[in-house]
Amino acid sequence: MSAKLAQFGKRHIARGIGRSTELVIEKAKGTYVWSVEGKKYLDLTTGIGVTNTGHCHPTVVKAVQDQAANLSHGQVNIFFQKPMLDLIEGLKPKMPHPSLDTFFFWNSGSEAVEAAVKLARHATKKQNIIVFQGSYHGRTMGTMALTTSKTVYGKGFGPLMPGVHVCSYPYFQQWACHKADPTKFDAEWCGQEALHQLDLVLKQRSDPEDTAAILIEPVQGEGGYVVPPKNFITGLREICDKHNILLIFDEVQSGFGRTGKMFAVEHFGVRPDIMVMAKGIASGYPLSAIVSTKELMDTQPPGSMGGTYSGNAIACAAANATLQVFKDENILENCNARSEQFFSTLKAKIPALLPDNIKVDIRGLGLMIGIEFLDAPKGFATAVANEALDLDTIVLTTSIYETLRLIPPLNITKEETDLALEKIVASIEAAAKKL
């Protein structure tokens, strides 16, 4: 049945959608999904970091059911609706700085990034946006220009939005683990070098008086789950303050507990001017947001922002329930405990499974885990993912390099983590034996 349905999907769903498996799923619960044949799979993807509370969490399901019976759509340009107001009340104490108190809700991460760019350009009366090599900010006409992780996202769609300039991201792991002497090229050096490259961009390509904002993922997602050195993030804040440039953090993938803190920026102690949220905000329901100061948000006149489904009532109810689950089940504590479990086992076991010419870089924060196989032949990470699928486990690759990303639910249990590690280790071992 699954093969027949998959063929139907191939015929009638846009070819432009990439897909990592041909599974046809009809049920999901917690850390597992089931195919139409009833086969059970361990899901370490969470819809690419969306169902952070696991699939179909009962608290979220009940909130959605109750809301659907009362108000499914309270259009934002016509009404205030209570689920959105409740969500703002719940989100405000979670923000990384108390000045971030004014919200705009939209549907997807791409739309929220575009909302942040609209706000930055309008508030500063400047045009240019600086992004970083390896970034992923979306696939809409505006965000394609901001995305640099792979050319496929923008190839053939030009001309793209003007005024975008790209700077180096401190890919410290590549330097320290592989391409340079780690005793000389440490994290501090890597962060300073990236800041130097940013200074050159501001002097050679985008003058500060023309630069509205610097847009960055505090931990890169599609670019390979790369964690920057702290001095780089703090240096960005200093540069933005010096030149009157807004600092925008794209927390679409790294937010809502994914890195062991509510937002990844908390690891660096830096205040964003605008922060972008989506994915894990509503446990699988389409909702995104930007948050900024009231002063910045008030620069936009009424009517300049909006959208038919902006802050949909059911999605807001799901987001409120998500926050309740975080509180009731100590989600952040579990995330950090399981993170330690993942990292300690992966670092202990994986290097011994690989031939001497392949090094491994295991990196990330919380349950945002990247495994890059340095000098592995092209397709090795995909081969590992395929071996995992044969073991009824779903994992994803990422970036232009040979990299796996592990994105389990934040409430994954200790026992499920043990099983996941067993499957991942076995998959890498099987793929390595075929080299």
Write the DSSP assignment of 187-214 as a string of letters. HHHHHHHHHHHHHHHHHHT--GGGEEEE
pLDDT beyond 80 at 173 = no
Helix (H, G, I), strand (E, B) or coil at 186: coil
The predicted-structure confidence for 182-193, as pLDDT tens digits, reads as follows: 566 677 888 898
Helix (H, G, I), strand (E, B) or coil at 329: coil
Question: How far is the CA of 180 from the CAs of 41, 126, 129, 184, 187, in angstroms?
Answer: 40, 39, 31, 8, 12
Token pair 């803190």 is at which residue? 261
Domains contained in the chain, CATH given: 2-57+331-433 (3.90.1150.10), 61-328 (3.40.640.10)
Closest listed residue to residue 23, CA positions, set 75, 368, 32? 32
Residue 189, token pair as written in the block: 């050096």
Residue 352, token pair as written in the block: 């011994």
pLDDT beyond 90 at 263 = yes
How many Cβ atoms from other residues are within 10 Å of residue 134's Cβ?
Answer: 23
Task: Tell me the DSSP string of 286-309.
Answer: --EEEEE-HHHHTTSPTTSS--TT
User: How far is it, in rounded angstroms, from Cα 75 to Cα 83?
Assistant: 12
Q: What is residue 78's predicted lDDT score, i.e. its pLDDT?
A: 96
User: How far is it, in rounded angstroms, from Cα 184 to Cα 192?
Assistant: 13
Question: In the predicted model, what is the mean pLDDT of residues 64-86?
Answer: 97
Q: What is residue 186's predicted lDDT score, i.e. its pLDDT?
A: 76
Closest listed residue to residue 407, CA positions, set 426, 394, 392, 425? 394
Q: What is residue 180's predicted lDDT score, i.e. its pLDDT?
A: 56
Strands 403-406 and 396-398: antiparallel
Segment among 45-49, 183-187, 278-282, 339-343 with least mean pLDDT: 183-187
CA atoms in the 13 A half-sphere facing the CB of 247: 19
Closest listed residue to residue 410, CA positions, set 226, 228, 254, 217? 254
User: How far is it, in rounded angstroms, from Cα 88 to Cα 403?
Assistant: 37
Q: Please count the residues of the chain.
A: 435
CB 41 within 8 A of CB 392: yes
The predicted-structure confidence for 34-60, as pLDDT tens digits, reads as follows: 999 999 999 999 999 999 999 999 999
Q: What is residue 174's predicted lDDT score, i.e. its pLDDT?
A: 54
Secondary element (H or E) of residue 361: strand 359-365
Average pLDDT over the chain, rounded to an integer:
95
Q: What is residue 171's predicted lDDT score, i.e. its pLDDT?
A: 81
Helix (H, G, I), strand (E, B) or coil at 34: strand
User: How far is it, in rounded angstroms, from Cα 223 to Cα 77?
Assistant: 36
Residue 241, token pair as written in the block: 């303050």
pLDDT-derived band at 422 (thresholds 50, 70, 90) equals very high
The predicted-structure confidence for 85-127, as pLDDT tens digits, reads as follows: 999 999 999 999 999 999 999 999 999 999 999 999 999 999 9
Q: What is residue 2's predicted lDDT score, i.e. its pLDDT?
A: 82
pTM of the model: 0.96
DSSP secondary structure letter of residue 409: -
Closest listed residue to residue 398, CA positions, set 139, 18, 67, 75? 18
Question: In the predicted model, what is the mean pLDDT of residues 213-233?
Answer: 96
Residue 221 identity (one-letter amino acid): G
CB 102 within 8 A of CB 293: yes
User: How far is it, in rounded angstroms, from Cα 11 to Cα 88?
Assistant: 42
pLDDT-derived band at 71 (thresholds 50, 70, 90) equals very high
Work out the percent of the chain whose per-residue pLDDT is above 90: 92
What is the maximum alpha-carbon separation in the chain? 64
Closest listed residue to residue 171, CA positions, set 189, 157, 183, 155? 189
Q: What is residue 298's predicted lDDT score, i.e. its pLDDT?
A: 97
Question: How far is the CA of 279 from the CAs of 14, 48, 86, 109, 430, in angstroms?
Answer: 22, 8, 19, 7, 32
pLDDT beyond 70 at 156 = yes
What's phi and psi for 381, nearest 5 deg?
Answer: -65, -40
User: How far is it, in rounded angstroms, from Cα 300 to Cα 13?
Assistant: 38
Work out the percent of the chain whose per-residue pLDDT is above 70: 97
How many Cβ atoms from other residues are within 10 Å of residue 19's Cβ?
Answer: 10
Say how many Å lie between the first and final Cα of the chain, rounded. 34
Token pair 């440490």 is at which residue? 186
In terms of Cβ atoms closer than 10 Å to its own Cβ (0-12, 13-18, 19+), residue 327 is: exposed
Question: In the predicted model, what is the mean pLDDT of residues 264-271?
Answer: 97
Q: What is residue 188's predicted lDDT score, i.e. its pLDDT?
A: 82
Sign of the CA dihedral running 216, 173, 420, 327: negative
